[in-house]
Chains A and B, each alone.
Chain A
Amino acid sequence: MTAALRVMVVDDEAPARTRLRDLLGDLASALPTQIVVEASDGVDALEKLEAAEIDVALIDIRMPRMDGIELARQLGRQRPAPAVIFVTAYDQYAVKAFELSALDYLLKPVRASRLAEALRKARQAPATTEAIDRAAEQIAPGGRRHLRCSERGKVLLVPIAEILYLKAEMKYVTARTGEREFLLEESLAQLETEYGERFLRIHRNCLVARSAIAGFVREHESSDTDSEGHWLLLLRDSTERLAVSRRQWPQVKAAMEG
């Protein structure tokens, strides 16, 4: 007998969560499960996951604060990533995206036999993060809306739109917003692939939001005014200046002119 599957149920509607709980109870003899987390939206789920581990997440799509698509993207970046099963009442658009990416999903009202089948499949061959991202990109293009950061057991969500720049320092990447800095557990290279449209690389260790760029000034070595010097980037709404590397300067210039 295998260990009970640890399940998370995320739905903003209480009766929908009850329904899944009832069904999992009914299936228990054939397929032992244990509901470890019950959450009412994506943010709630991520907060509760700080203190719990799960194997499978049953996720509703339309939810306040953070929807199921965004939550699935966040879960895909967790190690180990739980298997994700979407649950939806009626969303032809999302269903089409799931089918194109061969993702499993459940339709409300959920039936016990379908739920059992989906759980078995999730245990044997869970959907890959890439497949989830691909479907998510079709439903809500532009990558994740938030970067996740843990601080003393609390989840902080940093809205992508508020980030001025991302900087790699030692082991961590810091995200700088107008208010403060956040430590992220992601690599700069990954972030650049995900948000290539929004951020511009100005240095080996720095990505800047295109919308935050106010201009550039050239700084000369104090002793030698004849040298070419190097370029500093000025930020909108900040007095901070960021160094543009000599290697990136041609690309930065081209991007700003284009």
Chain B
Amino acid sequence: MASIRENLQALRLPDFCNLGTWLRVLLAVNAMALAAAGLLAGRFEQWLLQFSMTAVYVEPTTLLSLVVLYASQRWLARLPGVLAGMLVVLVAVGAGSFCAALIAPLDPEGGGRSWLWSALVAAVLLAWFDLAVRARSPAVTEAKMMALTARIRPHFLFNSLNAVLGVMRSDPRRAEAALEELSELFRVLMRDNRELVPLSEEIALARQYVELERLRLGDRLSVRWDVEACPPDALVPPLMLQPLLENAVYHGVEPLPAGEVVVRLARQDDRVLIELTNPCPPQAIASSGNHMALANIRERLLLFFDIEATLEAEQAAGRYRVAIRLPYRRRNVL
């Protein structure tokens, strides 16, 4: 994640490993080709014809450039911004010339100066991505991130403190343990939560949270962990699992005499699945609190993973289900 500490002046390259970048590049390039075709055609009837002729050059050049950039992403990322930018333009020029050379036997008249067009388009796109990143970052993204960092419900805090006071006299050790868990939870809440963290940390935190809730709710709360197929090293946004669990307990267990929350964490090929289900109390009043928490997580997923992460929430067969799918990333690969 970008941070304030980074140099503001450096050119920022987009993440070529991100599907969102690919989509944006393809859309922008085609929009530019369409506009250029319009200018060249002059007449409306010839517009599409002109565009299809341009597309013969544009599409392979764009795709080839993206593939090369995808392959060299890690290497490019280590270079200073401006130099990397120049290399990106060079890649586009190379791809443009290469494709033009391939197509030349079929279309002797076309393809002139395609290297120049490639360079221009690549430069414009780089500038655009840089601007887009700047527009929401670093200060804006940082502020957004801070504001979005999950907050523990005051309801939970005050109820937990009350419960600790309740067991203080009869079971001082339980009270001690609860205060330790509570401070651990708040330490995590108050730290700098802008970096992805290993899933194992999130699980440990969530388990502590469940212990605290058990103090209040006793046997009414049961949590089933299905984490056999879970990669502990997967990187996930911090403080995502705990708020999801808190939601499940608040809406799905507290209004019932007893309830079970099922947490399933699994790797599915190159994706990580985080799934929670909880009972739906019959008179569940659709409270805005739940949507707030989900909207918050959705936005943070967007900031961390762009469009590569998804969040779905549904109600089926008397249970409420939230499923998050993220790309499987590990620290050493990133």
Q: Is B36 an interface residue (CB 8 A)?
A: no
Chain B residues with Cβ under 8 A from A108's Cβ? 158-159, 161-162
Q: Is B166 an interface residue (CB 8 A)?
A: yes
Complex: chain A residue closest to B153, CB-CB: A90
Complex: chain A residue closest to B250, CB-CB: A62
Contact pattern, A 26-66, Cβ under 8 Å of B = 1, otherwise 0: 00000000000000010000000000000000000010110
Identify which of B158, B215, B257 contacts A15 (C-beta below 8 A).
Answer: B215
Number of residues on chain B facing chain A (CB within 8 A): 25
Identify which of A12, A14, A19, A109 contacts B158 (C-beta below 8 A).
Answer: A109
Q: Is B169 an interface residue (CB 8 A)?
A: yes
The answer to whether residues A15 and B163 also contact, given A90-B153, A91-B155 and a CB cut-off of 8 A, is: yes
Assess the B218–A62 pair: CB atoms within 8 A.
Answer: no
Chain B residues with Cβ under 8 A from A91's Cβ? 155
Q: Is B177 an interface residue (CB 8 A)?
A: no
Assess the A15–B166 pair: CB atoms within 8 A.
Answer: yes
Assess the B257–A65 pair: CB atoms within 8 A.
Answer: yes
Chain B residues with Cβ under 8 A from A90's Cβ? 153-155, 157-159
Complex: chain B residue closest to A22, CB-CB: B169
> A residues engaging B (CB < 8 A)?
12-19, 22, 41, 62, 64-65, 89-91, 107-110
Assess the B154–A13 pair: CB atoms within 8 A.
Answer: no
Chain A residues with Cβ under 8 A from B256's Cβ? 64
Nearest CB of chain B from residue A62's CB, rounded to whole Å: 6
Assess the B257–A13 pair: CB atoms within 8 A.
Answer: no
Assess the B153–A109 pair: CB atoms within 8 A.
Answer: no
- The 24 sampled A-B contact pairs (Cβ below 8 Å) are A13-B159, A13-B166, A13-B217, A14-B218, A15-B164, A16-B159, A16-B162, A16-B163, A16-B166, A16-B216, A18-B170, A19-B162, A19-B163, A62-B254, A62-B255, A64-B254, A89-B162, A90-B154, A90-B155, A90-B158, A90-B159, A91-B155, A108-B158, A109-B165
> B residues engaging A (CB < 8 A)?
153-155, 157-159, 161-167, 169-170, 215-218, 220, 254-257, 281
Interface of chain B: mostly helix, strand, loop or mixed = helix
Chain B residues with Cβ under 8 A from A13's Cβ? 159, 162-163, 166, 216-217
Apart from A15-B162, A62-B254, A108-B158, 5 more pairs, CB < 8 Å? A12-B220, A12-B254, A41-B257, A64-B256, A64-B257
Assess the B255–A109 pair: CB atoms within 8 A.
Answer: no
Assess the A89–B158 pair: CB atoms within 8 A.
Answer: yes
Assess the A109–B170 pair: CB atoms within 8 A.
Answer: no
- Measured CA separation A181–B165 after assembly (Å): 46
The answer to whether residues A89 and B165 also contact, given A14-B218, A64-B257 and a CB cut-off of 8 A, is: no
Complex: chain A residue closest to B174, CB-CB: A15
Chain B residues with Cβ under 8 A from A110's Cβ? 162
Assess the A18–B167 pair: CB atoms within 8 A.
Answer: yes
Complex: chain A residue closest to B256, CB-CB: A64
Chain A residues with Cβ under 8 A from B255's Cβ? 62, 64
Nearest CB of chain B from residue A25's CB, rounded to whole Å: 10
Complex: chain B residue closest to A109, CB-CB: B162
- Measured CA separation A109–B159 after assembly (Å): 7
Most A Cβ at <10 Å: residue of B158, B159, B166, B281: B166
- Measured CA separation A17–B216 after assembly (Å): 11
Chain A residues with Cβ under 8 A from B215's Cβ? 15
Chain A residues with Cβ under 8 A from B217's Cβ? 13
Most A Cβ at <10 Å: residue of B155, B170, B215: B155
Nearest CB of chain A from residue B84's CB, rounded to whole Å: 50
Nearest CB of chain A from residue B292's CB, rounded to whole Å: 14
Chain B residues with Cβ under 8 A from A18's Cβ? 166-167, 170
Closest 9 CB pairs between A and B? A15-B166, A19-B166, A108-B162, A15-B163, A89-B158, A90-B154, A109-B162, A89-B159, A18-B166
Chain A residues with Cβ under 8 A from B216's Cβ? 13, 15-16
Chain A residues with Cβ under 8 A from B158's Cβ? 89-90, 107-109
Complex: chain B residue closest to A40, CB-CB: B257
Chain B residues with Cβ under 8 A from A19's Cβ? 162-163, 165-166
- Measured CA separation A90–B154 after assembly (Å): 6
